[in-house]
Amino acid sequence: DAGVIQSPRHEVTEMGQEVTLRCKPISGHNSLFWYRQTMMRGLELLIYFNNNVPIDDSGMPEDRFSAKMPNASFSTLKIQPSEPRDSAVYFCASYNDRNTEAFFGQGTRLTVV
Amino acid sequence: AQSVTQLGSHVSVSEGALVLLRCNYSSSVPPYLFWYVQYPNQGLQLLLKYTSAATLVKGINGFEAEFKKSETSFHLTKPSAHMSDAAEYFCAVSPNAGNMLTFGGGTRLMVKP
């Protein structure tokens, strides 16, 4: 398996633009997580899906952020409109109940100028 | 609620010296505990995990950690540091196996020749 695949690896956008980050979890994993990593706040859980259903989105910073998981093999994290303070590395991770390990993608480094 | 504290945001050791990275946790339920390593511009890779079996856990690359309930600690050690161990290390806690990780602030390990 190729692991968790995130795209793009790097994204530079202007303030006010819409940004969409993409994630393909490991096949057979039934849970998916979006994390954000910044120098100031470290690694924070944004949202957690189980069987494609959002279970906990309490970490989503504000209404500008939204996440979807239309099927078991794809998820998106959207920011609209983007702001400079959204600049961070966004990680996707997937997991299944037979393991006790979440596998992380390589992340998307987002820069909003 | 759960939380993780990693003492020391930066640790520097000489090559061949003992590595000790400290992690203390707070959890209202029996915790699952993890150590992840992050190399520059990479995602997080699991080093080892404690899931209520043996309290001394051995991981990859010669690392190990001991779960001490009385001290609410899960410190990471390696007898002899290699240059390739230079990276950032994250301790994490979860209320169940691999799910909804709460991370510590990370410790950057530097290895001097």
Q: Is A56 helix (H, G, I), strand (E, B) or coil?
A: strand
Residue B97 banded pLDDT, cuts 50, 70, 90: low
Find how far residue A66's CA is from the centre of its chain. Answer: 10
B contacts of A42 (beta carbons < 8 Å): 103-106
| B98 — pLDDT class (breaks 50, 70, 90) | low
- B90 CB neighbours in chain A (<8 A) are 43
Average pLDDT score over residue span B89-111: 89
- Contact between A91 and B43 using a beta-carbon 8 Å cutoff: yes
Share of residues in chain B with pLDDT > 70 (%): 98
**Contact A4/B at CB under 8 A:** yes
> Which burial class, exposed, middle or buried, applies to A19 when counting CB atoms under 10 A from its CB (0-12, 13-18, 19+)?
buried
